[in-house]
C-alpha cells in the first residue's frame, strides 16, 4: 500500500517536473546505495509438448537451459543483469535475484492453465500471475521487500515460447513491464511491479537479446522511458539501451541516469566556455554537461562522452555504439516521461546531415551510429550560429525546428578516458522571441489592417463546416476581450475573412458557401449588412477614408474587376480584364487616393497584370512587373511596391514606367504578405509552402531583408501581418486552429512556449469504468516560467474507457497540445485453482550464487506481519496491465484466488491504491515493449548482507477461510434481553485496531 502511494506521488513528481521552472534538474542529487529484490519465476503453458524444457541442455556446454537463464540474471560476467545494474549505478544499486524454483540441480517450472496461443494473441497478465502464485509455496525467510512498503520489489516471469508484436499492442508472451493494481499477494507481500519475458528473446533465438532485454524491461520498473518511436525513425539508436536492446548492452544516457535514478551528477553550462573536460561513463569526473538556452528553458542540450569497447568480451558495455567520442542530444522536458513512443520526441541524438562526413545514404540507423564527434572521426564541431540555419544545415535545433544557436567545437581526440571541447551559447534578445497573444479558440482569425478606435482588433470565426459565427475582439495585452456580445452569423461558415474599417467603424468582408462576397459593419453594438457581390471567386479589400476598395475575380475566374463600398452599399466600378483565367487579386491605395489593382494572369505564363483605376470605370494598364504565382501589393511612401514569391523572391518598386528590384531574399517564399508601420516595411512569408517550421517575418533594411527574431511558428497558412503600438502581430492557422503572435518589445520576453501535463492519479481502468481527472494539472510554459491553467482554460479530449487497449488523452490550450497515455483493460479470464504442487521443490541453493541477502530486516519494514490474502479475490481486479498494453483482453472476471497460510490471524487484506501507469509497447529491434513506470522511492540500504536465500518450503500453503462475522442480536436472544459482549471478538477487535494504528503511523511516517 505504501509502495503504491509513494510510487503514485513519485509519478506525479516526475510528470510535474516539466512545469517547475527549469523542469528536470541538471544536477541531480546523488542517491544513497540501494538494495532491491528481484523474484525470478519460470512457467510454461498447458499445451507445451516439452514440459522439461528448462532442465534440458543449453547451447552452453555443461549448463542446462535453466542455468543459462539464471546466469543471464545473476552471472559474474559484466553483462549479466546484476552486474550491469551495479556498473551503471556506480555501485549504488544492488539487485538480489531469487530463484525459488531451483533446487541446485533441477528447476521445477509451473504449468499455467492457458495455451501458448492465448498469450501470443492477447494480454492475460492478471490471469497468469494469479494462477502462478496459487501454485507456489510461500518463501518464508526470504527478503522480497527491501524498502519495507508491503510489496515485492520486482517480480520477473520467464515464459516458455515466443511472440511477435504485430498489432502494436503486445500480447502477454511478448516482453514487457507493468504494475499490477492491488489485490494479488505472495508470501505476505503484494505483487506490484513485474516483468514478463520469453525464452525465445532471452536464449533460443539466433538474435536473442540475452540479458539486454532483462535490463531494458527492469529499467522500466525504475521509471526509464522507451526511446524508440512507433514509426521507423531512429531518434536515439544504439546510444541507449532503452532505444535498442541487444546482447551487447549499452549504457543509459547520462541525463536519464541523473533524472530517473540519481546515479550521476550533471553540471550545467549557461555561458560560452572553452577547453571543457569530460570523461567516459564509469570514469571519475563529469560524464556529461547540460546546456540551456534562454530562448527555451524547457528544452536542454546534453554533451556526453561515450567509449566504444570490444564486443568479444562478456564484461564490456557500449561495444556496439558507433565509436568513441562526444554525442550531443536534446531533451524536451515537456514530453511526458521523456518518452519517444507516444508521438512526441523526448530525446533526440543529433547526427550528420546529408552531404556531411558520417552521413550514410539510405540508413538512418547507420547515420545515428556516426553521431559521435572526435578528432579521429574528422567531426570536431556541430551546430550553427546562423539564426536561419535548420537541422539540415547542421544546427542544434529545438523541437519546433528553430535554431538554438549553440555550437559545440574544438572537440579533441578520443584517447584514454577523457576529452575536451568548447561551447558557444548565444544570449537571447527580447526581440528574438514571438509571444503568443492568447487568442480565443477559433478555426480562423483575421487581424485588422490598421488600428480601429485606437485599438488592435481581430475577428475569430468558424471556417466552413466548423460553425457559423464570427466574434470581434480587441487586444487587452494580454488576452482579448469581445467588442460586442452579438456575434455575426453566416450559414455554412466563413471563408476568406478580412477585417478593416469604414470611417473607424469595424467592417468585415467574407465569402460564403454560396460564392458571394458579403460586407457588414458593427454599428451601435449590432451588425449591419452593407450588401454583397454575387459570384465572387476571390477578392482583396482595403480602406481609405470613407470608402472600401475591392479587387475581385468573378465568373469562374474569367473576370477581373473593381468595386467600392460605403455605408450606402456596394457599387461595381467596372472590369479591368475578361476572357482569360485570373487569380490572386490585390489592391492598394496611396496617400493621394490613387487606386492600384493587380491580378495573376494564369493563362499568360503567370504574368502579373497591373492597373490604375480612373474615373467612370476607366482603367489604365501599367508596365508589367514580371511573372509570379504568389505576390503581394502595397503603396509605400516611395511608390508602388510588389513582393514576388516563389523560388527567387524579390521586392520591386515602380519608378515611372519601370519596375526596379530593390531587395532579394535568399530562400523560397510562399504567399508573401506586406505590412508597413513605424517607418519600416515588413514581409511575412513561409519560405516553402510544402514544408513546416518556417513561418517567418523579415524587415527591409536597405537592399536586403533581415529576419525579425526567431521563426514565428513551425508552420502556418492564411496569414495576416499588421503593426500596432510598436509591435508586429501575425495571425495564421496551424493544425486546424487560429493563432495570433506578436514580436515582444524590448521589455517583454514572456513567450508561451509549450504545455506540460501532470496525468490524473488513476491511469488504468476496466472497460466501462468512469474515468477520473483527479490529480490532473496542466501548465502553460512561458519563458519566465510555468503557469498552472484552470480547467476552464484547456480542453481535455480522448479520455474515456469505452474501448480496451493503450489509449492517449490530449489537453489543448492556445493552439498547443500535450498528452498522456492511459490503459483500458478487459476482465481477467477465470481459471480453476490448480490442485497439484510442482513435483520438485527447492532444497538447495542455486549454482549461480544469488547476491547475499541481509540478515537483518530493513528498518523500514513494519514490525507487524502483513495480513493474509483474503479468500475471495478483491474487487480491484488489476487495472494496470503489461507495459506492452494489449488491445485484446479476456472478457470474464477472474475467479477468487485462495488465501495463503497466514503467519498471523487472518484478516482482510487492506485495499491498495492503484499506481498510475504510463504503458508503452515495444518492438523486437528496437527492443521489447515497455512503459514508463514510476521509479521506486529511494531509501537507505538495509544492514550488511550475510546469508544466501534459503530453499523454499516444500509444503503447499493451505487455504485459510476468512473469519466469519461476529454474531449479532437475533431471535435467539430472549425477548427484553440484549446480547452480552463476547471477550474473543472484543480482544480481536482491539488487536486489529492496534495493527491498523501501527500501519497508519508507519504510512504517514513514510509519506
pLDDT digits (tens, 9 = 90+) for 363-397: 999 999 999 999 999 999 999 998 879 999 999 99
At 563, list the grid cell.
Answer: 468595386
Who's near 995: CB < 8 A, 6+ residues apart? 864, 867, 907
pLDDT digits (tens, 9 = 90+) for 833-863: 444 444 444 434 444 444 443 333 433 333 3
At 440, list the grid cell.
Answer: 480565443
Q: Beta 495-501 vs 506-511: how paired, if at all?
A: antiparallel
CB-CB neighbours of 919 under 10 Å: 34
Contact 572, 612 (CB under 8 A): no
Lowest mean pLDDT among 92-96, 127-131, 612-616, 891-895: 891-895
Contact 947, 39 (CB under 8 A): no
Mean pLDDT, residues 602-617 taken together: 90
Give the helix ranges, DSSP H, for 339-474: 364-369
pLDDT of 164 reads 83
- 90 pLDDT above the threshold of 60: yes
Residue 214 φ/ψ, nearest 5 degrees: -60, -50
pLDDT digits (tens, 9 = 90+) for 769-787: 899 999 999 998 887 778 8
CA 349 to chain centre: 16
User: Does residue 637 or residue 237 have the better pLDDT?
Assistant: 237
Contact 245, 293 (CB under 8 A): no
| pLDDT confidence bin for 329, thresholds 50/70/90 | very high
CB-CB neighbours of 607 under 10 Å: 17
Contact 267, 286 (CB under 8 A): yes
The angle that helices 983-1006 and 2-16 make with each other, rounded to 10 degrees, is 20
User: Does residue 121 or residue 1006 have the better pLDDT?
Assistant: 121
* Cα angle 517, 523, 524; round to 5: 155
Burial of 615 (0-12, 13-18, 19+ CB in 10 A): exposed
- 515 pLDDT above the threshold of 60: yes
Three-class DSSP category at 480:
strand
Contact 494, 515 (CB under 8 A): no
Residue 317 φ/ψ, nearest 5 degrees: -115, 165
Question: Is residue 196 within a helix (H) or strand (E), and if so which, with residue range?
Answer: strand 193-198
Three-class DSSP category at 611:
strand
pLDDT of 1000 reads 41
User: Does residue 942 or residue 795 have the better pLDDT?
Assistant: 795
pLDDT of 753 reads 81
Question: How far is the CA of 890 from the CAs of 593, 683, 821, 830, 834, in angstroms?
Answer: 77, 60, 21, 9, 19
Is the link from the previous residue into 452 a cis peptide, with omega within 30 of 0?
no
Could you give the CA distance from residue 74 to residue 95 in angstroms, rounded to a whole number? 9
- 735 pLDDT above the threshold of 80: no
pLDDT digits (tens, 9 = 90+) for 229-245: 989 999 999 999 999 88
Mean pLDDT, residues 286-295 taken together: 92
Three-class DSSP category at 211:
helix
Please count the residues of the chain: 1007
| pLDDT confidence bin for 961, thresholds 50/70/90 | very low
CB-CB neighbours of 262 under 10 Å: 19
Q: What is the three-state SS of 919-947?
A: CCCCCCCCCCCCCECCCCCCCCCCCCECC
Residue 484 φ/ψ, nearest 5 degrees: -145, 150
- 968 pLDDT above the threshold of 50: no
Domains and CATH numbers, the chain: 34-222 (no CATH), 254-424 (no CATH), 448-687 (2.130.10.10), 752-825 (2.60.40.3630)
pLDDT of 553 reads 98
| pLDDT confidence bin for 431, thresholds 50/70/90 | low
- 406 pLDDT above the threshold of 90: yes
pLDDT of 29 reads 47
pLDDT digits (tens, 9 = 90+) for 155-165: 999 999 998 87
Nearest to 12 by CA among 1005, 1000, 935: 935
| pLDDT confidence bin for 899, thresholds 50/70/90 | very low
Write out the DSSP string of 492-510: T--EEEEEEESSSSEEEEE
pLDDT of 340 reads 95
Give the helix ranges, DSSP H, for 555-609: none
CA 746 to chain centre: 33
Could you give the CA distance from residue 139 to residue 154 in angstroms, rounded to a whole number? 15
Question: How far is the CA of 27 from the CAs of 259, 289, 405, 407, 926, in angstroms?
Answer: 9, 9, 23, 22, 30
Q: For the chain, what is the mean pLDDT?
A: 80
Contact 666, 633 (CB under 8 A): no
Residue 88 φ/ψ, nearest 5 degrees: -70, -20
- Taking phi over 0 as left and psi of -120 to 50 as alpha, with beta for the rest, 275 belongs to left
Contact 783, 750 (CB under 8 A): yes
- Burial string for 976-997 (b: 16+ CB within 10 Å, else e) reads eeeeeeeeeeeeeeeeeeebee
- Give the sign of the dihedral formed by CA 261, CA 267, CA 272, CA 278: negative
Who's near 987: CB < 8 A, 6+ residues apart? none
Lowest mean pLDDT among 47-51, 173-177, 283-287, 686-690: 686-690
pLDDT digits (tens, 9 = 90+) for 563-587: 999 999 999 999 999 999 999 999 9
| pLDDT confidence bin for 830, thresholds 50/70/90 | low
Amino acid at each position: 500500500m505504501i509502495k503504491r502511494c509513494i510510487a503514485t506521488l513519485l509519478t506525479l513528481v516526475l510528470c510535474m517536473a516539466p512545469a517547475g521552472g527549469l523542469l528536470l534538474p541538471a544536477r541531480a542529487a546523488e542517491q544513497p546505495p540501494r538494495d532491491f529484490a528481484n523474484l525470478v519465476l519460470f512457467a510454461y503453458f498447458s499445451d507445451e509438448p516439452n514440459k522439461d524444457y528448462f532442465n534440458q541442455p543449453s547451447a552452453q556446454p555443461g549448463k542446462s537451459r535453466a542455468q543459462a537463464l539464471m546466469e543471464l540474471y545473476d552471472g559474474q560476467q559484466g553483462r549479466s543483469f546484476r552486474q550491469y545494474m551495479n556498473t551503471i549505478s556506480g555501485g549504488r544499486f544492488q539487485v538480489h535475484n531469487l530463484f525459488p524454483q531451483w533446487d541446485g540441480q533441477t528447476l521445477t517450472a509451473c504449468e499455467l492453465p492457458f495455451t501458448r496461443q492465448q498469450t501470443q494473441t492477447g494480454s492475460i497478465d492478471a490471469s497468469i500471475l494469479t494462477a502462478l502464485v496459487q501454485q507456489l509455496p510461500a518463501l518464508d525467510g526470504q527478503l522480497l521487500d527491501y524498502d519495507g512498503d508491503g510489496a515485492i520489489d520486482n517480480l520477473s516471469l520467464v515464459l516458455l515460447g515466443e511472440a511477435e508484436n504485430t498489432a502494436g499492442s503486445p500480447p502477454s508472451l511478448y516482453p514487457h513491464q507493468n504494475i499490477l493494481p492491488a489485490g494479488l499477494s505472495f508470501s505476505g507481500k503484494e505483487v506490484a511491479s513485474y516483468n514478463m519475458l520469453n525464452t525465445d528473446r532471452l536464449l533460443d533465438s539466433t538474435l536473442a537479446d540475452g540479458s539486454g532485454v532483462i535490463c531494458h524491461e527492469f529499467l522500466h520498473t525504475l521509471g526509464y522511458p522507451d526511446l524508440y518511436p512507433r514509426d521507423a525513425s531512429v531518434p536515439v539508436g544504439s546510444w541507449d539501451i532503452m532505444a535498442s536492446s541487444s546482447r551487447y548492452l549499452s549504457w543509459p544516457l547520462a541525463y536519464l541516469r541523473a533524472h530517473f535514478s540519481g546515479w550521476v551528477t550533471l553540471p550545467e553550462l549557461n555561458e560560452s566556455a572553452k577547453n571543457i573536460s569530460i570523461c567516459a561513463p564509469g570514469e571519475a569526473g563529469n560524464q556529461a554537461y547540460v546546456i540551456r538556452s534562454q530562448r527555451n528553458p524547457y528544452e536542454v542540450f546534453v554533451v556526453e562522452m561515450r567509449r566504444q569497447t570490444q564486443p568479444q568480451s562478456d564484461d564490456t558495455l557500449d561495444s556496439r555504439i558507433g565509436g568513441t567520442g562526444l554525442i550531443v542530444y536534446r531533451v524536451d522536458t515537456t514530453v511526458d516521461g521523456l518518452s519517444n513512443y507516444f508521438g512526441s520526441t523526448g530525446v533526440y541524438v543529433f547526427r550528420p546531415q546529408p552531404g556531411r562526413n558520417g552521413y550514410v545514404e539510405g540508413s538512418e540507423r547507420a547515420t545515428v551510429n556516426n553521431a559521435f564527434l572526435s578528432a579521429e572521426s574528422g567531426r570536431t564541431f556541430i551546430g550553427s550560429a546562423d539564426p536561419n540555419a535548420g537541422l539540415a544545415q547542421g544546427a542544434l535545433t529545438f523541437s519546433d525546428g528553430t535554431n538554438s544557436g549553440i555550437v559545440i567545437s574544438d572537440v579533441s581526440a578520443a584517447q584514454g578516458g577523457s576529452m575536451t571541447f568548447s561551447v558557444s551559447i548565444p544570449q537571447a534578445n527580447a526581440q528574438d522571441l514571438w509571444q503568443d497573444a492568447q487568442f480565443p479558440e477559433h478555426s480562423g482569425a483575421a487581424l485588422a489592417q490598421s488600428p480601429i478606435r485606437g485599438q488592435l482588433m481581430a475577428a475569430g470565426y468558424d471556417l466552413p463546416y466548423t460553425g457559423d459565427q464570427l466574434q470581434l475582439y480587441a487586444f487587452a495585452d494580454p488576452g482579448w476581450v469581445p467588442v460586442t456580445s452579438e456575434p455575426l452569423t453566416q450559414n455554412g461558415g466563413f471563408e476568406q475573412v478580412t477585417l478593416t474599417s469604414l470611417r473607424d467603424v469595424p467592417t468585415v468582408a467574407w465569402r460564403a458557401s454560396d460564392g458571394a462576397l458579403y460586407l457588414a459593419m458593427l454599428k451601435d453594438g449590432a451588425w449591419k449588412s452593407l450588401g454583397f457581390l454575387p459570384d465572387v471567386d476571390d477578392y482583396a479589400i482595403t480602406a481609405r477614408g470613407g470608402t472600401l476598395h475591392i479587387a475581385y475575380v468573378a465568373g469562374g475566374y474569367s473576370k477581373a474587376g473593381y468595386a467600392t463600398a460605403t455605408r450606402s452599399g456596394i457599387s461595381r466600378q467596372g472590369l479591368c480584364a475578361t476572357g482569360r483565367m485570373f487569380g490572386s487579386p490585390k489592391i492598394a491605395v496611396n496617400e493621394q487616393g490613387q487606386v492600384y489593382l493587380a491580378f495573376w494572369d494564369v493563362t499568360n505564363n503567370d504574368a502579373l497584370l497591373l492597373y490604375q483605376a480612373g474615373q467612370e470605370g476607366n482603367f489604365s494598364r501599367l508596365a508589367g512587373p514580371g511573372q509570379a504565382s504568389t505576390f503581394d501589393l502595397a503603396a509605400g511612401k516611395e511608390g508602388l511596391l510588389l513582393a514576388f514569391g516563389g523560388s527567387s523572391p524579390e521586392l520591386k518598386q515602380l519608378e515611372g514606367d519601370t519596375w526596379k528590384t530593390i531587395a532579394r531574399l535568399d530562400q523560397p517564399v510562399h504567399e508573401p504578405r506586406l505590412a508597413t508601420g513605424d517607418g519600416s516595411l515588413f514581409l511575412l512569408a513561409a519560405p516553402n509552402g510544402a514544408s513546416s517550421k518556417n513561418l517567418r517575418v523579415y524587415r527591409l533594411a536597405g537592399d536586403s531583408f533581415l529576419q525579425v527574431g526567431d521563426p514565428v511558428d513551425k508552420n502556418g497558412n492564411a496569414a495576416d501581418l499588421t503593426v500596432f503600438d510598436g509591435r508586429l502581430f501575425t495571425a495564421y492557422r496551424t493544425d486546424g486552429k487560429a493563432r495570433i503572435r506578436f514580436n515582444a518589445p524590448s521589455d517583454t520576453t514572456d513567450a508561451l512556449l509549450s504545455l506540460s501535463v501532470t496525468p490524473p492519479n488513476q491511469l488504468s481502468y476496466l472497460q466501462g469504468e468512469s474515468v477520473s481527472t483527479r490529480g490532473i494539472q496542466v501548465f502553460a510554459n512561458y519563458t519566465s516560467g510555468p503557469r498552472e491553467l484552470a480547467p476552464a482554460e484547456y480542453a481535455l479530449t480522448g479520455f474515456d474507457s469505452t474501448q480496451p487497449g493503450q489509449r492517449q488523452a490530449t489537453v489543448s490550450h492556445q493552439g498547443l497540445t500535450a498528452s498522456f497515455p492511459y490503459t483500458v483493460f478487459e476482465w481477467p479470464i477465470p481459471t480453476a485453482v490448480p490442485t497439484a504442487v510442482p513435483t520438485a521443490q527447492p532444497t538447495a541453493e542455486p549454482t549461480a550464487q544469488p547476491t547475499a541477502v541481509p540478515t537483518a530486516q530493513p528498518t523500514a519494514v513494519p514490525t507487524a506481519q502483513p495480513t493474509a490474502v483474503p479468500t475471495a479475490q478483491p474487487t480491484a481486479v488489476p487495472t494496470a496491465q503489461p507495459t506492452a498494453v494489449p488491445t485484446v483482453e479476456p472478457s470474464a472476471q477472474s475467479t477468487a484466488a485462495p488465501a495463503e497460510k497466514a503467519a498471523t490471524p487472518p484478516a482482510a487484506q487492506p485495499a491498495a491504491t492503484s499506481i498510475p501507469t504510463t504503458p508503452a509497447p515495444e518492438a523486437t529491434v528496437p527492443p521489447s515493449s515497455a512503459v514508463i513506470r514510476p521509479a521506486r522511492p529511494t531509501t537507505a540500504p538495509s544492514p550488511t548482507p550475510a546469508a544466501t536465500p534459503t530453499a523454499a518450503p516444500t509444503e503447499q500453503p493451505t487455504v485459510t477461510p476468512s473469519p466469519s462475522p461476529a454474531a449479532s442480536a437475533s431471535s435467539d436472544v430472549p425477548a427484553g434481553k440484549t446480547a452480552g459482549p463476547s471477550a474473543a471478538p472484543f480482544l480481536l477487535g482491539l488487536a486489529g485496531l492496534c495493527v491498523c494504528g501501527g500501519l497508519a503511523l508507519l504510512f504517514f511516517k513514510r509519506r
